[in-house]
Amino acid sequence: MKMFIFGLGYSGQYIAKGFGGDVVGTTRSAEKKDALETEGFSVELFDGEMTDAIAAHLATTTHLVISASPSEAGDPVLPALGDLKKTCPNLKWVGYLSTVGVYGDFDGAWISEATQPAPVSKRGQWRVTAEQAWAEACRVARIDFAIFRLAGIYGPGRSTFEKLKRGKSRRIIKPGQVFNRIHVVDIAQIVNAAALKQATGVFNGADDEPAPPQIVIEHAAELANLPLPPEEPFETAEMTPMARSFYGDNKRCGNARLAKELGVKLKFPTYREGLEAILTQMSG
């Protein structure tokens, strides 16, 4: 088994560590490549153009993971690959890391993996277009294909604690607003389980308990004995357009296929277990 990951970022690194076979990933900068190689990863540079080195790896790749974000120009990887069957003759399975943002707004109601995407943001629309392009390419090449629609990603080094410590955390109150989250360790567990089973279809990478954002901040502050930031009403809070756009989606994401199809039991089923584990690691 050989996995190739386009986009060896935060989630990609955890997926690489959890996969049982050979893994190669990409990054866009020489500086990041050096840093990742220092940590023991096998890395190639990729910025939209196929290279001889990447082509050589893809010739023996069995499992492909796409963790590179699309833009208005479309998916950054698929055009460089061309005919999947020719570029990746041994490829058995492709996993695409997407976002629950593609579902759009459900005013706090529960959705499932069967819910049809109805994105409200441009980024959500780009994601749906990229999902469809990959699905079609895999259908033509007769390669198993899975989409992972991920909720708010957190984990060591990327949690509420860091923001609270820096005084950058904000308790923005929008009544009725909830978000799901997913710990990066669980993302790796989900993707690797699906890769090994060559599972197909949509999987919601989301925890079991969607919660208002301020509740998570309050719990983290209490756990770490850190000062709680003041409440800010959503209507008057100063936010970047991107930050504000996250609040345009309000839904509770069901994740039934994780257990049913993959046999995955989340290590961090709610933000409470996730935050406690992160704090233990920080204190250790």
Contacts of 135 (CB under 8 A, 6+ apart): 145, 147
Question: Residue 195 maps to which CATH number?
Answer: 3.40.50.720
Q: Which domain holds residue 178?
A: 2-211+241-283
What does the alpha-carbon distance between residue 187 and residue 210 come to, in Å, rounded to a whole number? Answer: 16
What's the predicted TM-score (pTM) here?
Answer: 0.96
236 is a domain residue? no
235 is a domain residue? no
What does the alpha-carbon distance between residue 162 and residue 36 come to, in Å, rounded to a whole number? Answer: 22
Question: For residue 284, is pLDDT > 80?
Answer: no
226 is a domain residue? no
Q: What is the mean pLDDT of residues 246-263?
A: 95
231 is a domain residue? no
Q: pLDDT for 135-165, tens place per residue? A: 999 999 999 999 999 999 999 999 999 999 9
Q: Could you tell me the pLDDT band of residue 10, with boundaries at 50, 70 and 90?
A: very high
277 is a domain residue? yes
Any idea which of 196-205, 238-247, 257-266 has the lowest mean pLDDT? 238-247
227 is a domain residue? no
Would you give the distance in Å from CA 61 to the centre of its chain? 22
SS (H, E, C) 76-98: CCHHHHCCHHHHCCCCCEEEEEE
Q: pLDDT for 45-59, tens place per residue? A: 999 999 999 999 999
How many domains, the chain? 1
73 is a domain residue? yes
- Radius of gyration of the chain, Cα coordinates, nearest whole angstrom: 19
224 is a domain residue? no
Mean pLDDT of all residues in the chain? Answer: 96
**Residue 241: its pLDDT value, please?**
86
